Amino acid sequence: MRSAWMAITMIVFSYSRSLVRANAATLTAQIRTKYGKAQGRVYDFGDNGKVGAFMGIPYARAPSGEFRFQKPRPPRSWRGTRRFTQFGPACYFLAENRKPHMPPIRFDEDCLSVNVFTPLDKDLKVKSKLPVMVYIHGGAYVMGSSATVGDEGIARILVTKNVIVITLNYRTGIFGFFTTGDANAPGNQALWDMKQALEWVNENVEAFGGDVKNIMIFGQSAGGSATHALLMSPTTKGLFHKAAPMSGSTGENGVTQPALIRQQMLDLAKFYGFQPTNENSASDTNKELLKFMQSLEPEKLAMGGALNVNANYSGNGQFKMVPVYDNDFLPGTLEDLKQGIHDVPLLTGNTEFEALAFFGKGNVYETAIAMATYYTKGDSMLAKAAMDFFVDKSLPQDSEEFMKQCVLVVSDIIFNKDIYHLAMKSTEKKNPVFLYTFKYFRPTPATERYPFQGSMHCSDLQYLFGLDENEVYEPTPDDHIISEQLSTYFVNFAKYSDPNGENQTEQWEPVAQNSSIPQYLSIDVNATRLQPNFMEGRMEKWNEIDQQVNSARAFTKMSTLLLSMYSFSGATTTMRMLT
């Protein structure tokens, strides 16, 4: 399954090549942050205005040495004026299968930086009181960086609409989620990084022309899941005022117990030669484990996340790197956390065929069964029941309708059900919830490897952050139309907490409170319209499946119990007869 995430992450990277039109000699006016003076580079878009890009600004000190696997620390101040004109180094991850046209990635543990893109006036000075959009990149929590979504596209498509956009790096994989399950290394470093970045934004965004009282967080895939985690954490209240998780939320697969991560890390350390002095003492072992892992070269840790150390971890033996219940950032159970979700305006949604990105042209049904089983934590009964319920087996297996039904089952399990539950839980609060499905799709040579053509995981990103104009992918007029439409919705939500904008006809209505059948906006070129039932009625069927499977499990357990009681009773009677 890791290879599927790697493949889709490469799709994101393929759209991240920035079309830099900035004049390197043109710098912004100086601004004064809490930590020192800064200058950025200028993008000139003619009649659409100028944008300042302040890239690679540290929001925390290097989490290296004894500070590896610990919470981030505020950055150091600097003297004089620093120029921030290019992306800072990425946090370590394993970068496989990169395309030839992609520039090499610079890795460093001193990677916790933000990029601030802000509109400029004619004197190259920042403006004031602008809405702020803070984006969290995806990558399955194991890869990616703020450079994934580029710079010029953000400046051209979003920032020229008079908002500030901030992207950030955070620790991924082992660096971001290592834990000993105790005070030595409680875990969730990645989430603490995001919180520290938001604190930096609150301290400094006014210097860049931002409104500290109007901050929106948004993210896609794992970034969407992280956005949901930030929404549920009691530690982040007041740091943002609205949220937009895209194609991701925190469900049962998105958070785990620290003991699982701890065991994975112990096995990896032993693979690298770790020998605990007294493995019977968890406390002593944890201290030694932390020191050992802090002593390893970062390249080894980045590589370690891909090693097949123990096939019990997942279907392919790869580590499960996700947030943990740490009694701090994420205290209590998942249900407890959902109850405490922040009461802020929410915009969330999916693409039409999310999981299509993970399929090739092989046996779609068998792939769907395998993925459904994997993402239900090995629950083959639930996976088979879902496939039996949703897939019409009278259809030819190579028919598009049959393959779409298979893909939708997997899409629901990995993405859609949790997005539905996030939206429904949020409607219990007073603020509005806007739900969407992104359906626009334009085939390219790169999409021919999929079993059918349709909007999939990450299909929307290029229209929000910039189209990669190269010899393989040349944007069409429809591409530009949908890009303008999608970006306007997100900018309006950042400005007004309403994607319709100010004083406009309300095309996109919020989800009705206490409704189990939420309406949503179907987004497509010349076909965007409000639709009555998110997931096209499948959620009601999923509830039926869950009830049937739970009843079957209860019957099986009762039958097993009765059988064991009968066997015990029969054995007792036999013993009496023999005596």
CATH of domain 27-94+112-344: 3.40.50.1820
Q: For residue range 61-84, what is the model confidence (pLDDT) as tens digits?
A: 999 999 999 999 999 999 999 999
DSSP one-letter code for 471: S
Per DSSP, the residues of 122-161 read TTS-B-SSEEEEEEE--STTTS--GGGG-SHHIIIIIGGG
**Residue 504 CB neighbour total at 10 angstroms:** 12
Q: For residue range 179-233, what is the model confidence (pLDDT) as tens digits?
A: 999 999 999 999 999 999 999 999 999 999 999 999 999 999 999 999 999 999 9
Confidence of residue 507 (pLDDT cuts 50, 70, 90): confident
pLDDT value at 579 more than 60 = no
Query: Which whole number is the average pLDDT over 236-244?
Result: 98
Confidence of residue 445 (pLDDT cuts 50, 70, 90): confident
Q: Which of 15, 5, 13 is closest to 462 using CA atoms?
A: 15
Domain ranges of the chain: 27-94+112-344
Q: What is the pLDDT of residue 94?
A: 85
pLDDT value at 469 more than 80 = no
Specify the pTM.
0.91
Q: For residue range 84-104, what is the model confidence (pLDDT) as tens digits?
A: 999 999 999 987 655 555 667
In whole angstroms, what is the distance from residue 366 CA to residue 406 CA? Answer: 9
pLDDT value at 552 more than 70 = no
pLDDT value at 2 more than 60 = no
Q: For residue range 364-416, what is the model confidence (pLDDT) as tens digits?
A: 999 999 999 988 888 889 999 999 999 999 999 999 999 999 999 999 999 99
Indicate the Cα dihedral angle 110, 112, 117, 121, nearest 10°. -70
Residues involved in catalysis = 221
Confidence of residue 311 (pLDDT cuts 50, 70, 90): very low
Query: How big is the CA angle at 140 (ends 375 and 454), to the nearest 5 degrees?
Result: 75
246: which 2 tokens?
């895209």
Supply the mean pLDDT for the chain.
Answer: 89
Q: What is the pLDDT of residue 550?
A: 76
